[in-house]
């Protein structure tokens, strides 16, 4: 099964227990991008493998949960990752409300990367693929 087809609204609500009320439309529109990011974090393992190729059921579940966490993170970013690059604003003003001190991101990728997704991926070994292992 392709990575972006591994998760649906039912899995998000039931198995993952999502804390943000994502709707089917948001999931359908952003799941491919979330899957592409998870694939990058896993050193492109899913370019040549399916989620079904993972030997342990817990690893499959963790990858699916990582997808859900990444979806939530994309939702929190507003579904638009263009503001996460090096030219991110250092302050925002709307009417009389002003907020400043937001740090510019030097890598661009970190802001898009969900730390919660990485926590789900760590026990799978996919983050360390190709690092001194044969």
Q: Which of 108, 51, 41 is nearest to 77 (CA)?
A: 108
- Quote the pLDDT of residue 46: 96
- Quote the pLDDT of residue 111: 73
CA distance linking residue 53 with residue 32, whole number of Å: 19
> Contact, 22 vs 34, CB < 8 A?
no
> Contact, 31 vs 71, CB < 8 A?
yes
Q: Which of 38, 57, 50, 10 is nearest to 119 (CA)?
A: 38
> Contact, 30 vs 2, CB < 8 A?
no
Return per-residue pLDDT of the chain as tens, 134 residues.
899 999 999 999 999 999 899 999 999 999 999 999 999 999 999 999 999 999 999 999 999 999 999 999 999 988 655 444 434 455 666 666 666 655 544 444 447 899 999 999 999 999 987 654 44
Domain ranges in the chain are: 3-81+98-128
- Quote the pLDDT of residue 131: 54
CA distance linking residue 129 with residue 19, whole number of Å: 30
Which ranges in 77-123 belong to alpha helices (H)? 109-112, 115-121
CA distance linking residue 17 with residue 72, whole number of Å: 12
Question: Model-level pTM greater than 0.85?
Answer: no
CB atoms within 10 A of CB 17: 9
Tell me how far CA of residue 83 lies from CA of 61, 79, 96, 109, 119, in angstroms. Answer: 31, 10, 22, 11, 24
């Amino acid at each position: 099964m392709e990575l972006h087809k591994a998760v649906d609204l039912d899995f998000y609500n039931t198995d993952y227990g999502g804390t943000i009320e994502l709707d089917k439309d948001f999931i359908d529109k952003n799941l491919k991008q979330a899957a592409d990011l998870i694939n990058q974090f896993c050193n492109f393992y899913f370019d040549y493998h399916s989620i079904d190729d993972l030997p342990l059921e817990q690893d499959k579940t963790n990858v699916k949960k990582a997808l859900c966490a990444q979806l939530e993170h994309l939702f929190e970013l507003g579904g638009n990752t263009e503001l996460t690059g090096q030219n991110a604003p250092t302050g925002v003003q709307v009417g009389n409300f002003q907020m400043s001190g937001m740090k510019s991101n030097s890598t661009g990728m970190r802001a898009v990367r969900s730390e919660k997704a990485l926590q789900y991926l760590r026990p799978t070994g996919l983050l360390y693929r190709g690092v001194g292992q044969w």
